[in-house]
Amino acid sequence: MQLILNDPLDMHLHLRDGEMLHTTAPLSAHSFSGAIIMPNTIPPIQSKEALLSYKQRILEAMGSENFMPLMTLFFRRDYDYEFLSNIRDELSAIKLYPAGITTNSEGGVSGFDIEKLKTPLEAMSELGIPLCIHGETNGFVMDREAEFVPIYEKLAAAFPKLKIIMEHITTKESLQALDRYENLYATITVHHLLITLDDVVGGMLRPHLFCKPIAKRGEDRDALVQAAVNAHPKVMFGSDSAPHPKSAKECPGCAAGIFTAPIALPLLAELFEAHGKLDNLQGFISDHAKKIYGIKPPKKSVILKKEPFTIPKNYGDIVPMHAGETISWKISQVQ
């Protein structure tokens, strides 16, 4: 049994920079046609010069692969129409982080006063630049995303022409908000479709399953699965594949992030098949994102075969999700 996925897209990807970039970029570029690249590098991507330089480093690191890095800026309140119009042709989205809520987000937004955000968000609305948001408060860890939903709704109502992407949603409350506002969309990761908090801390601590937003309850995971496998047109795949060296994961103060980029498609095929919805994977992995973002990525066909595949124990210095475990699908060919 085989499955062909056309132009797979990863609408939320961390490639990092420096030496790690040379490990991560080829792995994503091999099996995806394009990806939204996160800007929370060190230092963050906040200027046209930084964006173009980072894009060039990605292109060099990925080698001859047919792949489109879709670049983003790290949100700043002082972005205005003139600045954004000058970079619009190179820009696919702007990513907003609440300050200090996740990896390398210390320069993010504190407080969500609409008036203080008005200048960049009005310019983005006029220029058709989507706003991607890591939607968490600094409250109790299990409630952070649900507590952020009113902020999503406030922004959606105040800027109705602005496409707002609720990144890596993990709760049923976020899904409900998605259906209340025309300009709200969402990405869902493969790991949030597969695990709950019990998988992370219910037995021995599993640091390679620790991420932010943290995995939630079974009912939240099940709601996400139903939206994904039943082809909800406003949800799309975003891996939030977030590599860290093994030393930063297997230590006190474990870094948040799960590395799934090279195994995401086989894991998704396994999940969608289990629900009898393989035909809907094409929409989740590509078609919805093309329509939402209005993009035309390079043509690529990824052929998956139903055949046992043992996930490598590591990719360089990065340990992937389910390292050493065997799954039922594998990538057999890329055209």
Which amino acid is present at 47? S
Selection from 115, 108, 34, 33 nearest residue 73 by Cα = 108
Q: Which residues contact 277 (CB under 8 A, 6 or more apart)?
A: 229, 230, 231
Strand partners, 329: 306
The residue behind tokens 């309140």 is 77
Backbone angles phi, psi at 68, to 5 degrees: -110, 105
Which amino acid is it at 18? Answer: G
**Furthest CA-CA distance within the chain:** 55
The amino acid occupying position 178 is: L
User: Active-site residues: which are they?
Assistant: 240
Q: Which residue is associated with the tokens 């098949």?
A: 273
Q: List phi, psi (to 5°) of 60.
A: -70, -40
Question: Phi-psi bin for 129: left (phi > 0), alpha (psi -120 to 50), beta?
Answer: beta
Looking at the DSSP bridge assignments, the partners of residue 246 are none
Report the C-alpha gap between 194 and 222 in whole angstroms. Answer: 9
- As given in the structure block, the two tokens for residue 306 are 């139903």
User: Quick one: CA dihedral 299, 304, 310, 311, positive or negative?
Assistant: positive
